[in-house]
Amino acid sequence: MSDESPTAEPESLETIQARHRKEQRDLVSRITQKKKQANKKTRKGVNEECDRLERELKERQEQELAPLNGDVTPQQPETQDKDSEDEDGVTENLKHLQINNTPPQSQSSSTNGDPDSTAKPKKRNRAKDRLARRAADQATAIREAEQEAANAPNPREIERSAMATQLERYNLTLHEIRADGHCLYAAVADQLQTRELGLQPKIDAKIAGQDEKMPAYKTVRHAAAGWIEAHEEDFSGFTEDPLPEHIRKIRETGEWGGHLELQALAKAYGVRICVLHSDGQVDKFEGDGKDMEEVWLGYYKHSHGLGEHYNSLRKIG
């Protein structure tokens, strides 16, 4: 009884080629989505990444096919399907054989009447045939994948369309905010100014860092930082950085804002901040007091190149 453990049967050429075609379709789909979502700042990096992915896939597939292809050049016919080539040679020789053992007219004319000179049949280059078939299969797979990606739904358009429905439902109109790290604060500033609520927070101006010369979005940043700084016990433990560093980033950098900052702003300005999503969900951040004014922001996940984004939503009428 043999001690050798059974080994898995190797994949056939057809199985490998089918898998390769699927990998190529998947890669084209990924590349198409990456390029759709790229912007001017990220396009160069995305293109380089896509070139690298294509190159790596091609090299890996060639390595997998190399043992099965047995790429042999025509100068070594003895090592390439010798039995079948012998049969091919016999068939070719029979075509030129005549009863009187004389070469056909076309052959004798090409050899200038030399009886010892015979034309050798041109043998088929099987390696080139395989490469041609493989290239054709790859081209077909790429075309199919590109068509599939082109027909795929665009998340950006879907989100925009869904949000338009929600805006109509809540009697709101979209006011676009520049897509940068300040969008949340700029959207809140737009709401406060258009609603004539003012940028001065309901806390000590010194704590808020109020400065009349600052841009509106930066004033709102300072208001958020000031409230968090004055109520550390409510926010400590909810930030990735130590709280003093988190507060510094709010005041001095373009760090994005999120739920913590929205809650701080609702408290600082004594308003209810309503954040509308494209699926109809509304997140509410409550300030203190009764009969609070409502300010509306729109949350977008796919519509801007940098990722998550906030726009100002103004009431109609």
- So where are the chain's domains? 11-71+80-151, 157-315
Length of the chain, please?
A: 317
Token digits for 229? 């700084």
Q: Which pTM does this prediction carry?
A: 0.53
Q: How much is the pLDDT for 312?
A: 97
Residue 228: pLDDT band with limits 50, 70, 90: very high
Q: Is residue 24 packed enough to be buried (19+ CB in 10 Å), middle (13-18) or exposed (0-12)?
A: buried
Residue predicted with more confidence, 155 or 251:
251
Give CA–CA dist 207/192, Å, rounded: 19
Q: How much is the pLDDT for 111?
A: 47
Q: Nearest CA to 91 among 121, 62, 69, 119?
A: 121
Q: Is the pLDDT of residue 205 over 50?
A: no
Task: Round the average pLDDT of the chain to a whole number and report it.
Answer: 80
Give CA–CA dist 206/224, Å, rounded: 13
Contact 163, 278 (CB under 8 A): yes
Contact 221, 229 (CB under 8 A): no
Residue 260: pLDDT band with limits 50, 70, 90: very high
Please report, rounded to a whole number, the percentage of residues in the chain having pLDDT higher than 70.
74
Residues with Cβ within 8 Å of residue 124, at least 6 apart in sequence: 88
Give CA–CA dist 307/156, Å, rounded: 11
Mean pLDDT computed over 220-229: 96
Residue 112: pLDDT band with limits 50, 70, 90: low
Q: How much is the pLDDT for 211?
A: 56
Residues with Cβ within 8 Å of residue 152, at least 6 apart in sequence: 29, 32, 33
Residue predicted with more confidence, 202 or 274:
274
Tell which CATH classification among 2.20.25.90, 1.20.1630.10, 3.90.70.80, 3.40.50.720 matches the domain 157-315.
3.90.70.80
Print the SS3 string covering the chain.
CCCCCCCCCCCCHHHHHHHHHHHHHHHHHHHHHHHHHCCCCCHHHHHHHHHHHHHHHHHHHHHHHHHHHCCCCCCCHHHCCHHHHHHHHHHHHHHHCCCCCCCCHHHHHHCCCCCCCCCCCCCCCHHHHHHHHHHHHHHHHHHHHHHHHHHCCCHHHHHHHHHHHHHHHCCEEEECCCCCCCHHHHHHHHHHHHCCCCCCCCCCHHHHCCCCCCCHHHHHHHHHHHHHHHCHHHHCCCCCCCHHHHHHHHHHCCCCCCHHHHHHHHHHHCCEEEEECCCCCEEEECCCCCCCCEEEEEEECCCCCCCCEEEEEEECC
Q: How much is the pLDDT for 90?
A: 42
